[in-house]
Structure 1
Amino acid sequence: MTTNKETNLIQKIRDGNTHAFSELVDAYKNLVYTLTYRMLGSREEAEEVSQDTFIKIFKSLPHFKGDSKLSTWIYKVAYNTCLDRIKQNKRNKTFVDIDHVKDVAFVSMNNALDKMLQEERKELIKRCLNLLPSNDVGLLTLFYFEEQNLAEMEKTLDIPVSTIKVQLFRARKKFAKVLEENLEKEIFQNYG
């Protein structure tokens, strides 16, 4: 049952008094927001649903019979508005998630496969580098892994650039041969 104060407030709103509706919003905004936040768990959604709730209250107020307390009725409108939003989110989420899950699954699988291949390559490169003479390993490491240019390598190794170029060329050839031999062995071991 509504109190006399609530009945008067409702009548003022029905008569078009916007200030009276502001009073109603001020009186019940905390109740509505608290409920919507607890049900939805998101501040932004709770604010949106709270606004939607008060719009529904404004539109439905002419049909309010006063059988229950106004606060109970407002609570019920807020509750039902939250349920509507949850249903809407589930519908949208299910539709979006199917596509999103497919994309994420493919991306995750591709990333995992790429990572595995990269790790395997790194391991193979390490094994092959260890089969080379230490001077060659040093040159290849400085140039490819430390990304030093020839001028920097000249300062680091105290060797002229022309000599570094020749040694680097020879080290690459040796590495390519070792890599090719080890790749063939690995292919035959894994797939032969």
Structure 2
Amino acid sequence: MSLQQDQYYIDKVIKGDTNAFSVLVDRYKHMVYTLAVRMVRNNEEAEEVAQDTFLKVYKALPGFKGDSKFSTWVYKIAYNRSLDYIKRLGRVPETTLIEEYAEHNKANLEDVMDQFEMDDRKYTLKKAMKKLPPDYATILTLHYFEELSLKEISKVMDASPDTLKVKLFRARKRLGGILKDKLQEKI
């Protein structure tokens, strides 16, 4: 969604049309929930974080300047709310990959075998990602699965794009090492 399309609803909310906020929530609820569930690792807690995020977004909406995409701004709030929640509970931040896709009935055996192979890869990747430090897993998730640019991630994680570029390189290298070790175990 473009900032221009979002700005229409942002302006309506600021002028007092609370129903317009539901459009923004509908657009970004999956994105916020997905990030929260990856970080807090519990569906119910992720729902609480998502609700808290949208409450914060609603209250802070008049302060949105449009310097970045609205989605990046919402992501930053969700990221910080997730970190706050984790810290409040005394946990170590963790992230995971996008949730497993729903199983579909396959028409033939070849499709089923392809699905098993894909599920095995996702499972292996998910386990490998859990072995990464939280900041590495987060940057990999945001960059590759949520397709955010380093500039957008820098706004979410409060780090310079150059720092994130180095972290992304190190995260890929470490993930590659973990996956290589896993492959050697299977051989």
Q: TM-score, normalised by structure 2?
A: 0.47
Greater relative contact order, per chain length (Cα 8 Å cut-off, separation 6+): 2
Higher helix share: 1
